[in-house]
């Protein structure tokens, strides 16, 4: 990184040193393996019990899955629900960036602005296209908005983004709360049916077993699948908000024409210790 900076200082022509790394697609193995392992464990537990019990029951399965989906969709609009597959996909495959990479790239931009002036940033268009938020932020700087304006407008955008993330996570969170309740409702249906023909004692056990299956499915869906996924989405949102806040801090600093060393200090105060950059050493 220090070499990038040195290069930036040495070269006189259009700056080749400034590259913006676009978010890289990343598989979250902890999430995938966690899901597979947790569900696998339950399957193993079922198979170890040497019993002729049948844990697969299509109707029970459908009432929990579809019922949870239907009751969740009551609280949202069609437009929001269309995003749900993407939201769930985001818990596993996620586009993210290394905070210290983006911090170094922001330092590069600051050095360029310092040496060639703010308008030199306009020449970075092809690189900036990789990150629309950064492109918008740089645009504000080259349009001559003040640091306070940039703080206010980008800050509001970051807040609105975090709010939208929260809203997306809330869909999964709601579903995780509804699933056990749908399981309970299914079990109540089974219990009432069983109790109505209590005169045949031999059917009690199996009927009861089937009735409990919806509670079982609801507990797995809510506790093992949807609940942790909602928590993952909330966690990912924090990650992305941190990246956006780095950009916001850097662009405000550039617009105020502050010393890049000061900007490094500000960026580092937002980064975890192991991600901090040492741009000038």
Binding to a copy of itself, residues 32-71 (CB under 8 A): 33-35, 37-38, 41-42, 44-46, 48-49, 51-55, 59, 62-63, 66-67, 70-71
Read off the tokens for 246. Answer: 């780095």
- Backbone angle region of 15, left / alpha / beta, with phi > 0 → left and psi within -120 to 50 → alpha: beta
Total count of residues recorded for the chain: 281
Read off the tokens for 54. Answer: 């049948």
Q: How far is CA 200 from CA 205, 207, 211, 237, in A?
A: 10, 11, 16, 55
The half-sphere exposure of 243 on its side-chain side, counting CA atoms within 13 A, is 21
Dist. CA 193–CA 174, nearest whole Å: 29
Chain positions 208 to 227 lying near a copy of itself, rule: CB under 8 A, are: 208-209, 212-213, 215-216, 219-220, 222-225, 227
Can you tell me which of 188, 257, 278, 280 binds a copy of itself, judged by CB under 8 A?
A: 188
Per-residue binder mask for a copy of itself (CB under 8 A), 141-180, x = binder: ----x---x---xx-xx--x---x--x------x---x--
- The SS3 call for residue 76 is coil
**H-only helix segments in 146-226:** 147-196, 204-219
The strand pairing partners of 25, in sequence order, are: 95
Question: From the CB of 145, what's the least distance to a copy of itself, in Å?
Answer: 8
Binding of residue 5 to a copy of itself (CB under 8 A): no
* Residue entry with tokens 């409990």: 212
Instruction: Tell me how many residues contact a copy of itself (CB under 8 A).
Output: 99
Binding of residue 186 to a copy of itself (CB under 8 A): yes
State the CB neighbour count (10 A cutoff) for residue 275: 15
Can you tell me which of 18, 138, 140, 254 binds a copy of itself, judged by CB under 8 A?
A: 140
Nearer to a copy of itself, 118 or 191 (CB): 191
Can you tell me which of 5, 7, 231, 256 binds a copy of itself, judged by CB under 8 A?
A: 231
Nearer to a copy of itself, 91 or 100 (CB): 91
Question: From the CB of 236, what's the least distance to a copy of itself, in Å?
Answer: 9
Can you tell me which of 13, 16, 30, 281 binds a copy of itself, judged by CB under 8 A?
A: 30
Can you tell me which of 12, 29, 85, 281 binds a copy of itself, judged by CB under 8 A?
A: 29
Q: Cα 144 from chain centroid?
A: 33
CB 121 within 8 A of CB 113: yes
Nearer to a copy of itself, 120 or 153 (CB): 153
Chain positions 92 to 131 lying near a copy of itself, rule: CB under 8 A, are: none
Chain positions 247 to 266 lying near a copy of itself, rule: CB under 8 A, are: 262, 265-266
State the CB neighbour count (10 A cutoff) for residue 217: 25
Give the binding range for a copy of itself (CB under 8 A) out of 1-9, 106-114, 116-124, 193-201: 193-201
């Amino acid at each position: 990184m220090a070499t990038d900076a040195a290069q930036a200082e040495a070269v006189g022509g259009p700056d080749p040193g400034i590259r913006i790394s676009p978010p890289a697609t990343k598989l979250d193995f902890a999430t995938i393996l966690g899901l597979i392992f947790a569900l696998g464990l339950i399957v193993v537990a079922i198979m170890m019990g040497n019993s002729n019990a049948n844990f697969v029951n299509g109707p029970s399965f459908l009432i929990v899955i579809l019922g949870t989906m239907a009751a969740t969709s009551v609280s949202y609009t069609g437009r929001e629900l269309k995003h749900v597959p993407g939201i769930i996909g985001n818990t596993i495959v996620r586009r993210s960036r290394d905070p210290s990479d983006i911090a170094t790239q922001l330092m590069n931009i600051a050095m360029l602005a310092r040496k060639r002036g703010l308008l030199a940033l306009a020449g970075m268009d092809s690189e900036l296209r990789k990150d629309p938020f950064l492109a918008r932020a740089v645009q504000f700087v080259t349009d001559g908005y003040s640091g306070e304006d940039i703080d206010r407008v980008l800050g509001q955008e970051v807040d609105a983004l975090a709010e939208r993330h929260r809203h997306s996570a809330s869909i999964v969170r709601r579903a995780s709360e509804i699933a056990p309740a749908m399981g309970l409702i299914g079990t109540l249906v089974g219990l009432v049916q069983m109790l109505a023909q209590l005169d045949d004692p031999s059917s009690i056990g199996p009927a009861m077993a089937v009735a409990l299956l919806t509670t079982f499915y609801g507990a797995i869906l809510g506790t093992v699948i949807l609940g942790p996924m909602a928590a993952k989405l909330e966690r990912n949102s924090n990650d992305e908000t941190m990246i956006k806040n780095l950009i916001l801090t850097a662009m405000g600093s550039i617009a105020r024409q502050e010393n890049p060393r000061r900007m490094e200090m500000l960026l580092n105060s937002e980064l975890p210790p192991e991600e901090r950059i040492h741009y000038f050493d």
